[in-house]
Amino acid sequence: MKSGPVNPAVEANFDGLVGPTHNYAGLALGNVASAKHAEQPSNPRSAVLQGLAKMKALADLGMAQAVLPPQERPHIPSLKRLGFSGKDAAVLRKAYSEAPALLAAMASASSMWTANAATVSPSADCADGRVHFTPANLATHLHRAIEPETTARALHAIFPDPQCFMHHQPLPATPQLGDEGAANHTRLCTSYGAPGLELFVYGAAGEDLPHPSRYPARQTLAASEAVARLHGLDAARCHYAQQRPEVIDQGVFHNDVIAVGNREVLLYHEQAFEDPAALRDWVRRALAAAPEPAREPVFVEVAAAEVTVEDAVHSYLFNSQLICPPDGSMWLVAAQECAEHPRVWSALERMVADTANPIAGVKLFDLRESMRNGGGPACLRLRVVLNEAERAAVNPKVWLNGELHGQLSAWAARHYRDRLVLADLADPALLDESRGALDELTQILGLGSLYDFQR
Ligand code: SUG
């Protein structure tokens, strides 16, 4: 079996818990799965249990695994801000009859995809030696642009100690500063606790550079540069790479739909970047200059002749997680759809057999409810590298172990519906059920009064 050394700092995964209003409203422009499943019935209970099963499996492998809470939806304060007045039931009724698209936007469970919650830099990379968080402004889509305020509150509640953790405000929500968080940010390193390379991938940088013509480029260069400045990153260890506009137009709305990095490994599709050779050169040079014992970077490039961009978008091969359990081995955590796609599956078999990379095997998960909205394994998690002291400073109740998994599974079974269609979003009973569920959740996770309805 392929293996590597044991790491003192860990990379923890903070997975988003799917909220009680998980539904298919076709809200995400340029996200092929979201458009394809628009208006189909969803199953929120299965969705949350599928996510919890992945979390439990990773925790059982010895990974540091935690939970991020869902947001309050439908979000009545946002609907009121748009002029729908009266009691909650009246607000829902009016929004549904006058502007159903606005109601759908304010009822999305999109906060489950926590790879878009924030960009996080480990303390080893930051000038002040703290872990830095910048919540993403998610400026390109209305249903996501309402997330950052509550995301910031949740991050404060989970990472409270100012000696270890530094929280920035989201960037101003303008198209010039569109920021979608960690989905366009990869860290490469020789070991998690050592200073690493921070790789930012952007889709837009003004009109002068090539840009997509069909779909929006969600991540801007200006936002990534601002995040790097805020986090106090060493400029020599940051790199900004442009996504190929053509792949954005084929449904690669975030870089994590076409590339994933972990430790010294970068797995990516041949057509992911405008200039992959320049990127590889930079990584080689920057990693060689690392203060830690050298580890050569490993580039696992998948050729378009083997897996097309369309195959990648449909299977979410690159939206896999690359993880290292405590024994230092490396595994790919992939969506079941990868095994159902013959070209993708043979590419994975080849990759695992190839001794030039450390990937020891593939672990498959059924995440169909999230996948139908364009969210694979990697979308569902926010990675946070933590040393021992930082790990001890995290709100202890969010760590997922067997007990919390059991508690949350029972909680979901009690509160979540097993079928939801768009008309249900106007049902005042759904709002009450969701609030009841979230109220109990804040107690289970020790989060205090996180939600507007609790304040
Ligand atoms: O922003 N889907 C999300 C999926 C996010 C996936 N995240 C990463 N790739 N990191 C999005 O496109 C669909 C909601 C709907 O259509 O109802 C949605 O928002």
> Among the atoms of ligand 1, which is closest to the Cα of residue 34?
16
Please tell me if the CB atom of residue 321 comes closer than 6 angstroms to any atom of ligand 1.
no
Q: Examine residue 90 and state whether it is found in any structural domain, yes or no.
A: yes
Confidence band (pLDDT; 50, 70, 90) for 206? confident
Ligand 1: nearest atom to the Cα of 25:
17
The reply to whether ligand 1 has any atom less than 6 angstroms from the CB of 273 is no
Q: Which residue has the higher pLDDT, 363 or 289?
A: 363
- Section 162-180 average pLDDT: 97
Indicate the pLDDT class of residue 3, thresholds 50, 70 and 90. very low
Please indicate, yes or no, if residue 5 is contained in any of the structural domains: no
DSSP string, 323-363: E--TT--EEEEEEGGGTTSHHHHHHHHHHHH-TTS-EEEEE
The pLDDT tens digits for 393-442 are: 999 999 999 999 999 999 999 999 999 999 999 999 999 999 999 999 99
Distance from Cα 370 to the centre of ligand 1, integer Å: 9
Mean pLDDT taken over the chain = 96
Residue 1 domain-assigned? no
Q: Is 370 close to ligand 1, i.e. is its CB under 6 Å away?
A: no
Q: Determine, yes or no, domain membership for 396.
A: yes
Q: CA 389, 395, 400, 402: dihedral to nearest 10 degrees?
A: 100
According to DSSP, the residues that pair with 273 across neighbouring strands are 243
What ligand 1 atom has the least distance to the C-alpha of 24? 17
- Do the Cβ atoms of 17 and 51 come closer than 8 Å? yes
> What whole-number distance in Å separates Cα of residue 301 and Cα of residue 266?
8
User: Looking at ligand 1, which atom is closest to the CA of residue 26?
Assistant: 16
pTM value?
0.97
What's the gap in Å between 234 CA and the centre of ligand 1? 31
Does 368 have pLDDT greater than 70?
yes
80-97 average pLDDT score: 98
Is 2 contained in some domain? Answer: no
Angle, CA 366 vertex, CA 7 and CA 256 arms, to 5°: 55
State whether the Cα torsion 45-48-49-50 is positive or negative. Answer: positive
Q: State the DSSP string of 14-72.
A: EEEPPPTT-------TT-HHHHHTTT--B-HHHHHHHHHHHHHHHHHTT--EEEEPPPP
Which of these is catalytic: 239, 254, 269, 341?
254
Query: How many other CB atoms are there within 10 angstroms of residue 127's CB atom?
Result: 10
Q: How far is the CA of 236 from the CAs of 64, 197, 240, 283, 289, in angstroms?
A: 30, 9, 11, 11, 10
251 lines ligand 1 (CB under 6 A): no
* Known catalytic membership, residue 254: yes
Domain count, the chain: 1
Helix, strand or coil, per DSSP, at residue 267: strand
Tokens encoding 47: 């969705």
The closest of 104, 92, 177 to 144, measured between CA atoms, is 104
How far does the centroid of ligand 1 lie from the alpha carbon of residue 437, in Å?
A: 23
Tell me whether residue 225 is one of the annotated catalytic residues: no
Distance 70 CA to ligand 1 centre (A): 14
Report the percent of the chain where pLDDT is more than 70: 98
**CATH number, domain containing residue 427:** 3.75.10.20
Our answer to whether residue 207 is catalytic in this structure is no
pLDDT of residue 1: 44
Burial (CB count <10 Å: 0-12, 13-18, 19+), residue 306:
middle
| Residue 28 in domain | yes
Distance 313 CA to ligand 1 centre (A): 13
**Domain extent at residue 139:** 10-454
Identify whether 3 is part of a domain. no
- Is residue 4 domain-resident? no
